[in-house]
């Protein structure tokens, strides 16, 4: 029999058209047993069946959308059943911006689950977002797939989930570096504008590098302005996080932006990541526009 503690159960859900099928294929490649379209009321039964046998699988991934989540009683009942078995499922919530979802539906020519003669695609997507908000607010990871190709989603999800599965429970902190010229992450709880920091972009020797390089980090963070700011910024974040945790907040996404998302935001994000890891936080990082800047 498999140990409950060593066998993760992941629920993959989110806005229709945002990449659930691709995400499940990623988990399949990671060694998970994957089922799509399973009613939430059956999730505990499936988990129990797999736990009773010696399995070659690393975990169980369940794909659920509007049709399977049986709002809201079915979802809450399923969580209670899993909790009674000692299982707290991790929830991956996928979403994308409205124009991109409309474009994807136009490409595939499929109907949205809520679409009807009296409800067009735009309104159906808006209604779905509203119904799914309670699940989104408690998800372990919210992933905006607007700018991702299928291959981008696969790469990002593999990297993120490998990091997440190593973390303990409790409030999760996700750090995103980004470029304002490419757009602010929609999932951000806090957005910090770092465009006042010294910019390596204008140094021809530093321009090709990124904030992952020590020389860029030194340029940005060891200047007088960079050093003073980074110290105060980290003090603020580490002061703020426990207050949100005390209020029962489950997940915080911090977005740090500069012009192109390659130098300054990446440097500060990496510095914050190191600090939060040392303090024991469950923290992950994403450099969303680093290769574009």
Cite the annotated binding site for GTP by residue number: 65-68
DSSP 123-161: HHHHHHHHHHHHHHTT-SEEEE-TT--HHHHHHHHHHHH
End-to-end CA distance of the chain: 50
CB neighbourhood size of 136 (10 A): 18
CA distance 113 to 29: 27
Longest dimension (CA), the chain: 62
Helix 264-278 to helix 224-246 angle, to the nearest 10 degrees? 50
Residues placed in the known binding site: 14-21, 65-68
Tokens for 34?
A: 């994957």
Helices vs strands, H then E, count in the chain: 9, 9
Residues placed in the known binding site for ATP: 14-21
Q: Is residue 71 helix, strand or coil?
A: coil
Q: Which backbone phi and psi does 172 adopt, to 5 degrees?
A: -100, 145
Element spanning 258, H or E = strand 251-258
CA distance 216 to 200: 7
């Amino acid at each position: 029999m498999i140990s409950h503690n060593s066998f993760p159960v992941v629920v993959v859900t989110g806005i229709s058209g945002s990449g659930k099928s691709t995400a499940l294929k990623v988990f399949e490649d990671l060694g998970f047993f994957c089922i799509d379209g399973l009613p939430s009321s059956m999730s505990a039964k499936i988990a129990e069946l797999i736990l009773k046998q010696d399995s070659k699988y690393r975990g169980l991934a369940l794909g659920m959308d509007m049709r399977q989540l049986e709002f809201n009683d079915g979802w809450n009942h399923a969580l209670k059943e899993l909790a009674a078995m000692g299982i707290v499922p991790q929830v991956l919530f996928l979403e994308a911006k409205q124009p991109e979802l409309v474009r994807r539906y136009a490409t595939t020519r499929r109907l949205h689950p809520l679409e009807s003669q009296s409800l067009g695609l735009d309104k159906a997507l808006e209604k779905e977002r509203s119904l799914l908000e309670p699940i989104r607010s408690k998800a372990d990871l919210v992933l905006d797939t607007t700018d991702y190709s299928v291959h981008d989603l696969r790469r990002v999800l593999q990297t993120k989930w490998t990091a997440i599965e190593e973390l303990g429970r409790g409030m999760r902190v996700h750090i995103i570096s980004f470029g304002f010229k490419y757009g602010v992450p929609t999932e951000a709880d806090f957005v910090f504008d770092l465009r006042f920091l010294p910019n390596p972009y204008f140094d021809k020797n530093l321009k090709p590098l990124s904030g992952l390089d020590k020389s860029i980090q030194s340029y940005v963070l060891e200047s007088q302005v960079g050093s003073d700011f980074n110290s105060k910024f980290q003090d603020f974040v580490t002061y703020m996080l426990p207050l949100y945790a005390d209020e029962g907040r489950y997940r915080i996404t911090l977005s740090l932006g500069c012009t192109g998302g390659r130098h300054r935001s990446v440097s500060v994000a990496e510095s914050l990541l190191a600090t939060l890891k040392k303090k024991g936080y469950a923290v992950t990082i994403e450099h969303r526009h680093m290769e574009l800047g």
